[in-house]
Amino acid sequence: MNAINISREVIVNFLITKGVAFIVALLIVFVGFKVSNYIVKMLEKLLKKSKCDETIANFLIPFSKMSLKVLVLISVISYLGVVTTSFVAIIGGASFAIGLAFQGSLSNFAGGVLLLILKPFKVGDYINVNGISGTVKSISIFYTHLTTPDNKIEIIPNSMVSNSNLTNFSANNTRRVDLIIGVDYDTDIKLLKNTVKEIIKSNEKILSEPSYFVGLSEFGDSSLNFSIKFWVKTSDYWDVYFKTNENINEKFNEVGISFPYPHMDVNIIGNNQ
Q: pLDDT, tens digit, for every residue of 59-74?
A: 667 777 777 777 777 7
Same domain, yes or no: 222 and 200: yes
Residue 266, domain member (yes or no): no
Based on the domain organization, do 189 and 237 belong to the same domain? yes
Instruction: Output the 3-class SS for 20-50.
Output: HHHHHHHHHHHHHHHHHHHHHHHHHHHHHHC
Structure confidence by residue, pLDDT tens digits, 124-137: 999 999 889 999 99
- The strand pairing partners of 233, in sequence order, are 174
Residue 37: which CATH number?
A: 1.10.287.1260
* Helices and strands counted in the chain (H then E): 8, 8
In a 3-state reduction of DSSP, which class is residue 139?
strand
More confident residue, 187 or 35: 187
Structure confidence at residue 8 as a pLDDT band (50, 70, 90): low
Q: Is 10 helix (H, G, I), strand (E, B) or coil?
A: helix
Q: Which of 4-13, 48-57, 251-260 has the lowest mean pLDDT?
A: 4-13
| More reliable by pLDDT, 25 or 239 | 239
45, pLDDT greater than 60: yes
Q: Is the pTM of this model over 0.85?
A: no
| Residue 30, in any domain of the structure | yes
Write down the mean pLDDT value for the chain.
81
Give me the pLDDT at residue 87, please: 55
Longest Cα–Cα distance in the chain? 135
Q: State the pLDDT confidence band at 140, using cuts at 50, 70 and 90.
A: confident
**DSSP classification of residue 156:** E
Q: Using CA atoms of 215, 218, 222, 224 in order, give the dihedral in degrees to the nearest 10.
A: 10
* CA–CA gap between residue 250 and residue 230 (Å, rounded): 19
